[in-house]
Amino acid sequence: MPIVKNVSRAVSQLLQSSGCGCGVSVVPVRCIGISPRQVASDASFHSVSFSESNHPRVLITGGLGQLGVGLAKLLRKRFGKNNVILSDIRKPTDNIFYSGPFIYSDILDYKNLREIVVNNRITWLFHYSALLSAVGEANVPLARAVNITGLHNVLDIAAEHNLRLFVPSTIGAFGPTSPRDPTPDLCIQRPRTIYGVSKVHAELMGEYYHYRYGLDFRCLRYPGIISADSQPGGGTTDYAVQIFHDAIKTGKFQCNLKPDTRLPMMYIDDCLKATLEVMEAPAEALSMRTYNISAMSFAPEELVQEVQKHVPELQVTYSVDAVRQAIADSWPMNFDDSNARRDWGWKHDYDLPELVTTMFSFLGSDSRIARAN
């Protein structure tokens, strides 16, 4: 590629003309995979718009997490079963494995990931591989490797192969000095978790690759996501999922956040809908690379009251986890998502009562629910 050759030649000349008088050891490095053509500062995306293309060929990394399986189901219904490949480093259950294409993919293995993109003619990549907030704090080196090094691999490959790339961000990308009620798209971001730091890094790197190389990068800051399809995975907002499982199984729930800790939340169907909508949005409609999205905001005590309408005998206690509480206290209480609603027509479907009713409709075949009703 001309750009890579020019860069290599310039580096060689620089090393040969070094004026320090010391020997310079040249080691092999992996060049950033960029589009071979020059990208003007006012260039539009080099991915064709959805309306002008055939169905995209999709790869989802970290696909066995909370969102990947649901996203694959939605995209397969829209684009065809064989056009959406789910990937992870873990072994899938039988129902996931036989529901559509699945492949082993380690985002820290650059060569393997690149081969998957090339061999399967991938055009859209959803990058969900990440360690969440509380888990990341318990293993910072691993979080740094997965959340940052893995991202770099994905960015390089996406730029090299002209992919449309989606990387989710989070309420955790904000910190205690950010405005919290509401939190706008553009403001001070100084998170105090490795998860939050890695997500700010992802937002900025994605924007840089867009403006520097023309990468079609799109990003949404998710609130806490509530789903009946997966178990809690170590996130600070996972209490809002755990309460439903505990209400059904034991009738007792211990919350690890203070009862008045207000955070933005969203039902998974709204989250997946927003993700697809922003990926299909025309390039000219997007005024920014990263958007807040929101649906509702509530505190544990408000969720408990709504859950007890379905399970009146639910017993709730509070045993505050200092790490999770400190994280939650640094996060937004409400998201301002007016830009998403204006630019590409974002609109949520689920509020708190409908969320709780829907969760119990999926999980509520248990006899405890039947007796409560």
pLDDT digits (tens, 9 = 90+) for 233-271: 667 888 999 999 999 999 999 999 999 999 999 999 999
Flag whether 45 is in a domain.
no
Q: Are the C-beta atoms of residues 169 and 222 closer than 8 Å to each other? A: yes
Flag whether 51 is in a domain.
no
Flag whether 27 is in a domain.
no
Say whether 265 sits in a helix, a strand or coil: strand
What domain range includes position 305?
Answer: 130-371
The region of weakest confidence among 232-241, 299-308, 311-320, 328-337 is 232-241
> What is the rounded distance in angstroms from the CA atom of residue 46 to the CA atom of residue 159?
10
| pLDDT reported for residue 5 | 43
Domain total of the chain: 1
Flag whether 302 is in a domain.
yes
Flag whether 64 is in a domain.
no
Flag whether 229 is in a domain.
yes
Q: Which position among 98, 110, 128, 195 bears the catalytic label?
A: 195
Q: Write the CATH number for 137.
A: 3.40.50.720
The region of weakest confidence among 141-150, 239-248, 362-371 is 362-371
- E strand or H helix at 247: helix 239-249
Q: State mean pLDDT over 298-316.
A: 96
Flag whether 75 is in a domain.
no
pLDDT digits (tens, 9 = 90+) for 99-112: 999 999 999 999 99
- E strand or H helix at 308: none
The verdict on whether 128 is a catalytic residue reads: no
Query: Global pTM?
Result: 0.81
Block residue for tokens 């990263």: 290
